[in-house]
Amino acid sequence: MESCTHVFQISGIKVRDKKRLLVQRIRQLGGIYIGGSVYQQASTHLIIPQVLSSEKFLAACAAGKWVVTPEYVLNSFKNGSWLAEGPYEVAISTGATSSFYPVRQWREKVASGRLAGAFQGWRVLLMVHEPTRRAMFKRLLKAGRAQVYHCPPPSHASVTHVMAKPITEDSKYHNAPCYPVSHIVQHLFGSNCVDMNFNITDDHPAKTKKISIVDVDFSKLETELLDYVIKQEGRPRLRFLEFLGYHDPYRPLSQATETDFSNVGSMIECGLFIEALDSIRSAVFPGLLPPAPYLVSLLDYAQQGNATSVFLKNLQQVMYNLLVTNPPWLAPNTVKKYFTQVLQCPRCKTGLWPFLETAISYCLSIDVSCHPLPGPALPTLLHFHSDILAFFLKLFQGELHSVTTGDFVLPDGSGVSQASVSGSLLHGTFWTVWERATLLSRAVKQLAQLLVQAVIEDYAEKQKLHLADTLLDLLSVLVEFWCQQHFKLNQNLVEKGLKDLAEHFAVISQDVSPVVVAELVVRIRSTRLKLVIADATFKSLCCRNGFTVGDEPLSFKKMVLSYLPALGSLAQSPTCALIRTGPTSHSGTSQGAGCSALSSMENETSKENVIIPRGLNRVNAAGETLLHRACKRNQVETVLRILALPGTDINVKDHSGWTPLHEACNHGSTACVEVLLRHRPAPFLNKQVGGVSPLHDSVLNGHMDIAKILLEHAGSVLLQQTDGNGHTALDLVSATSRREELLHSAHVGDSALRNYSTEVLNLPLLEAGSSLLAHLVSSYQQERGLPGHAQPSDKSRSLSYRLVRTLETHSHQKVTLGWTDQRAVRLVSDAETLLELGRGSYLGEVSQAVKECKVENTLFLMEILEGLKSRGEALLADL
């Protein structure tokens, strides 16, 4: 009878509609379908979309059953009767000219009667401790006609194989050879199993345990990833080609030239500044420095406002010639002291930073200077002070270049020492002796504040000096200099310094238009500075518009699961949220968690000073965290404080699998439900425990207000969920009026989602957020990205290839278990996220409004996301 010769099981098809169609076609052709998550010996055919690492596939191979693709059933239905299976047998490409059919050899042997199964004659002592896994391996072995014994075996049993996981000293039985469980796959597929990279998994969607058969040295992988991270962190970010020619400025011929500057002093005393400057211009050589007091006098004359533009340009030329012929980063300490004497206020003589701050303030028409300057601002003096800033920038760029390249040699043959770094002009300008362990010194704070003011001036077109770009480059240089000095000694110090600076900038720039701030971020030359500034600014932008974003460390996963949904929310913000003209209010409930984090930035408090809720890390006997317990008791303030803490998992599960949202719905904590739904990343609304979703939980316990909130938030899609008995939430409501209320709420939710997905209410804010995210992602890839692709011939030695191969057989948690350096853990998480993007996951987090927006920055962001997806697809294709 034909129906008895076509008994099907299905594996690897997770889309419910596709699976339902296959089952329907099987039955219409007279076949039989057997459901369930484990292999059934009665089956004759297994349908899989591709070669899988599932129990059903391996068991079907061992039993010699037909393993075919779904097209076999679909094409047979079109034909009206069962077709021959051969053309539809599952194959795998091994890189050779012909395909490898993993099941064929055993199927043909079983069909011819030569074997009853792949493991015929095996008498296996199975020593696997975990009951579920032991049962799985037992079914696999019995499918191939092996006899399987538990420990200890019967006295009469003659054991041929001992299979253990893990293999220990006790995994021996008389003289029987001991094998790892990977021997099952090696026996089935021979040398081909190396490229197939199997790990045995349970098909049941609720069971996600994996049984690896590939042994990987995780500690070696961690070491290799750390080596890669350290190499990435130590590479130079900013390179200045104009300094590459500075090797030895003290040429013997030049040193022989001596100049008498005594007449210059007489000229200055007589007020002949132009003549004195001309004399100095003709006597600037390597190793020859005009007396510092003479230059100080010339600078003093230049600041009075009486000097001609020609004089000021000539003075600028002299300063640059001094820098080129006597670069302080290559010279002895006497030259550094010389520049320190020259580069300070000619009158007050209080150091380099006051002189630099005065120049910036004069360009901004700010009345902040060490002594009064001519006012109102004269055009010639504006350009003079602007040139002073450009000179400082060039000087500091040279010092950074000398530190990052490390290839400079001093005249005495020694290199650039750490002492010379700490005694550099840049270091002395921005950090006092007591501030060397912090990036955010007093001078750096003042520079950041002046930068924000310059941005406002530039945006208002009040001055044409491009001052913001100069200050931005200056900030990039000093950040790179400080990080280069400290990253080898204390990486945590560097990360904290960058974060403090970024958060400080986010706070002081709150009153600047997000559009302007986004444009400023684009112009940051230092990728590591751009990364932290873009991150802090985007989080601040979300907070000021009422959306909370978790404070966990930055990663690809955080960007796609937290920041992309938040971007969709920004697109729906009212247009009045574009520019803030005053301090941000933190009293509103809608801004609670995120704004409490911002408030902590404003007060410049460290994490040690953040108030941690009592019992945060305590889990009770049921596995409930403090977030679970607060949701049960409707303690909204506690929930807000927990969500604002870094690393908070809003979907954390107790021992039974319940999430905080389940608990809030179950106990009627309406306010907590509203807070949870506003958080980014959002809680899972479709998560079921024993068939009970949050919506079912609220309806079953009579909390109709919560049920309506959920439906208004997610729409009628929630009404399609069924519990373990096949009942929807509406099936659990008997009163017609209440059913109508739920349907109305679902309709409201659908309408809101349609509007939310297609309408952009605040295009400027969306464009600003898209620009920040686009440059955040691109900077992240440059700073912390995974190793690049290798050539096909070197693929097996590629670190990224081995990392991805490991993640195909092991979970992220298992790979990183026991790892102590979070930088290596983050790389594994990023690789996992890229793989998921390559499989088509996560991009659903992008709202339809963002996807359909055809404006420049948003289009650029979508291109970057598509690039990430393509990178994930390329990683998958390499497997």
> Of the residues 465, 486, 507, which one is the last residue of a structural domain?
486
When pLDDT is cut at 50, 70 and 90, the band that residue 707 belongs to is very high
Same domain for 686 and 832?
no
From CA 780, how far away is CA 528, in angstroms rounded?
A: 8
Provide mean pLDDT across the span 858-868. 91
Q: Report pTM.
A: 0.62
- For residue 478, which of 507, 523, 444, 442 has the smallest C-alpha distance? 444
From CA 215, how far away is CA 375, in angstroms rounded?
A: 75
Tens digits of residue pLDDT in 291-301:
888 888 888 88
Tens digits of residue pLDDT in 610-645:
567 777 778 888 888 999 999 999 988 888 888 888
Q: How many domains does the chain have?
A: 5
The CA-to-CA distance between both ends of the chain, in Å, stands at 43
Domain annotation covers residue 608? no
From CA 836, how far away is CA 841, in angstroms rounded?
A: 5
Does the pLDDT value for residue 723 go beyond 70?
A: yes
Same domain for 737 and 771?
no
Domain annotation covers residue 831? yes
Distances (CA, A) of 809 to 72, 196, 200, 616, 878: 29, 11, 9, 34, 15
From CA 336, how far away is CA 327, in angstroms rounded?
A: 9
> Of the residues 758, 789, 820, which one is the last residue of a structural domain?
758
Task: Please answer whether residues 264 and 290 qualify as being in contact, where contact means their C-beta atoms are separated by less than 8 angstroms.
Answer: yes
When pLDDT is cut at 50, 70 and 90, the band that residue 591 belongs to is very low
What DSSP assignment string belongs to 564-581? HHHHHHHHTS-GGGS---
Helix H or strand E encompassing 46:
strand 45-47
Give the pair of three-digit tokens for residue 355.
Answer: 């002189």
Same domain for 442 and 359?
yes
Same domain for 740 and 867?
no
Provide mean pLDDT across the span 794-821. 79
Task: Please answer whether residues 205 and 14 qualify as being in contact, where contact means their C-beta atoms are separated by less than 8 angstroms.
Answer: yes
Same domain for 272 and 390?
yes
Domain annotation covers residue 523? no
Domain annotation covers residue 621? no
Task: Please answer whether residues 363 and 382 qualify as being in contact, where contact means their C-beta atoms are separated by less than 8 angstroms.
Answer: yes
Tens digits of residue pLDDT in 91-137:
765 444 456 677 888 888 888 888 889 899 888 888 877 777 888 88
Determine which of 101-110, 253-262, 315-324, 504-513 has the lowest per-residue pLDDT on average.
253-262
CATH number of the CATH domain containing 105: 3.40.50.10190
Same domain for 479 and 333?
yes
Task: Please answer whether residues 538 and 563 qualify as being in contact, where contact means their C-beta atoms are separated by less than 8 angstroms.
Answer: yes
Packed helices 491-508 and 442-459: angle between N→C axes, nearest 10 degrees: 40
Distances (CA, A) of 447 to 88, 701, 743: 69, 58, 57
pLDDT value, residue 166: 62
Domain annotation covers residue 516? no
Same domain for 95 and 136?
no
Domain annotation covers residue 572? no
Same domain for 271 and 335?
yes
Same domain for 442 and 327?
yes
Range of the domain at 83: 2-112
Does the pLDDT value for residue 449 go beyond 90?
A: yes
Strands 199-201 and 210-212, sheet pairing: antiparallel
- Of these ranges, 228-242, 286-300, 471-485, the one predicted with the greatest mean pLDDT is 471-485
From CA 635, how far away is CA 71, in angstroms rounded?
A: 54
From CA 428, how far away is CA 495, in angstroms rounded?
A: 22
What DSSP assignment string belongs to 163-187? EEES--TT--BTTB-EEETTHHHHH
pLDDT value, residue 410: 41
pLDDT value, residue 409: 39
Task: Please answer whether residues 831 and 800 qualify as being in contact, where contact means their C-beta atoms are separated by less than 8 angstroms.
Answer: yes
Task: Please answer whether residues 390 and 360 qualify as being in contact, where contact means their C-beta atoms are separated by less than 8 angstroms.
Answer: no
Provide mean pLDDT across the span 362-372. 74
From CA 694, how far away is CA 700, in angstroms rounded?
A: 10
Same domain for 476 and 390?
yes
Provide mean pLDDT across the span 393-403. 88
Same domain for 97 and 134?
no
pLDDT value, residue 446: 93
Domain annotation covers residue 455? yes
> Of the residues 70, 92, 112, which one is the last residue of a structural domain?
112
pLDDT value, residue 252: 42
Same domain for 701 and 801?
no
Domain annotation covers residue 268? yes
Assign 3-class secondary structure to 728-775.
Answer: CCHHHCCCHHHHHHHHHHHHHHHHHHHHHHHCCCCHHHHHHHHHHHHH
Residue 233, C-beta contacts closer than 8 angstroms, at least 6 positions apart:
487, 491
CATH number of the CATH domain containing 686: 1.25.40.20
Task: Please answer whether residues 683 and 650 qualify as being in contact, where contact means their C-beta atoms are separated by less than 8 angstroms.
Answer: yes
Provide mean pLDDT across the span 315-338. 84
Distances (CA, A) of 474 to 199, 204, 299, 529, 823: 53, 58, 22, 12, 28
Assign 3-class secondary structure to 546-568.
Answer: CCEECCCCCCHHHHHHHHHHHHH
- For residue 533, which of 546, 543, 523, 545 has the smallest C-alpha distance? 523
Tens digits of residue pLDDT in 490-524:
888 888 999 999 999 999 998 888 888 999 999 99
